[in-house]
Amino acid sequence: MVKKYGLQPPIPLSFKSLAGFILIFVIWQGGTLMWLELTNIMIPATRAGLPSFITLFLSFCFLILGVFLITRYFFKIRFRTFLFEGKRFDFRKFAIYFSLYFLALILYLIIDINVHPQAFTLHFDPLPWLGVFIIVTPLILVQSAAEEILFRGYMYRMFRSLRGGAFWSILITSLTFTLVHGFNPEMLSYGIWGPLYYLLGAFFLGVVTYHTNGLAAPIGIHFATNIFNTTIWSYGASTVENMGLQSIVYRHTLNMPFAFFGIFAIVVSYGVFQFFKYKRNRS
């Protein structure tokens, strides 16, 4: 399979594409601030609990809007063409990577419970859990897709057409993703392990983007991760802990080194799989 994702139509690295990236952030963050402020004033209930989660995650529509406006009017690229290079969204690939990564996370959770049983409390109330799950699932899908469209979509393309572009695309998108996510107060409370966790996770998403030739697989992985972290387990000091979510188990304190080595094992396993797949295709 020819690895060509992000080359057609091109968004070359230039002042124009960098300015577009900054404008996307301005549209995203500016729209989010106005949306949250207006919604909180008009509907005070959105300031806390599940309504606050719904309001916050709806704001990721501004991120998608920003990417759409910049690609459509800066580069004259139709949004569908930008996302899929003229093809259709690969639902099969999305479903496979979502399912496999979700199962890997469940396996990680089972191991964690067996290694650290004292750290967990069963936290399952079926009917409220199901109600919240139905509400938050489409919102988490929007949020996961929006971030992948920005990082593994727009930003990945900026560096993809360079010499050695796949390397630079993966490296720089990973570093930027880590700056946005891994240096928030919640993650910094775990020392270097918080940023390292996000760096490795972003690196994995970049590698998957390259090997699968598109956005379907990384969106599936990102979606599986966020569904797992909001509906399957929760943990103390989480940024969404007080947003009315329901989980099955509760971990009193997140063990970030253990989580890092969990995702490290997943990344190594994926690397081994790709290595033997390459060897098989060569033979």
Domain boundaries, the chain: 87-282
Q: What does the pLDDT average to over 124-142?
A: 95
In this predicted structure, what is the pLDDT of residue 184? Answer: 78
**Among 84-98, 175-189, 258-272, where is mean pLDDT lowest?**
175-189
Q: What does the pLDDT average to over 66-74?
A: 96
* Reduced 3-state DSSP string for 130-161: HHHHHHHHHHHHHHHHHHHHHHHHHHHHHHHC
Q: Which two tokens stand for residue 36?
A: 């949250």
Closest CA to 151 of 245, 61, 103, 218: 218
Q: What does the pLDDT average to over 41-48?
A: 94
Q: How far apart are CA 112 and CA 251, in angstroms?
A: 10
Sign, CA torsion 1/212/104/132: negative
Q: Which residues contact 69 (CB under 8 A, 6 or more apart)?
A: 23, 27
Q: How far apart are CA 226 and CA 145, in angstroms?
A: 11
In this predicted structure, what is the pLDDT of residue 137? Answer: 97
User: Whole-model pTM?
Assistant: 0.94
In this predicted structure, what is the pLDDT of residue 2? Answer: 59
250 bridge partner residues: 121, 234
Q: What does the pLDDT average to over 12-37?
A: 96
CB 188 within 8 A of CB 194: yes
Using the predicted structure, report yes or no on whether residue 187 has a pLDDT greater than 80.
no
Q: What does the pLDDT average to over 221-226?
A: 97
Pairing of strands 249-251, 120-122: antiparallel
Q: Which residue has the higher pLDDT, 133 or 237?
A: 133
Q: How many helices (H) and strands (E) does the chain have?
A: 12, 3
Closest CA to 166 of 283, 4, 1: 4
Using the predicted structure, report yes or no on whether residue 1 has a pLDDT greater than 60.
no
Q: What does the pLDDT average to over 21-44?
A: 96
Using the predicted structure, report yes or no on whether residue 17 has a pLDDT greater than 80.
yes
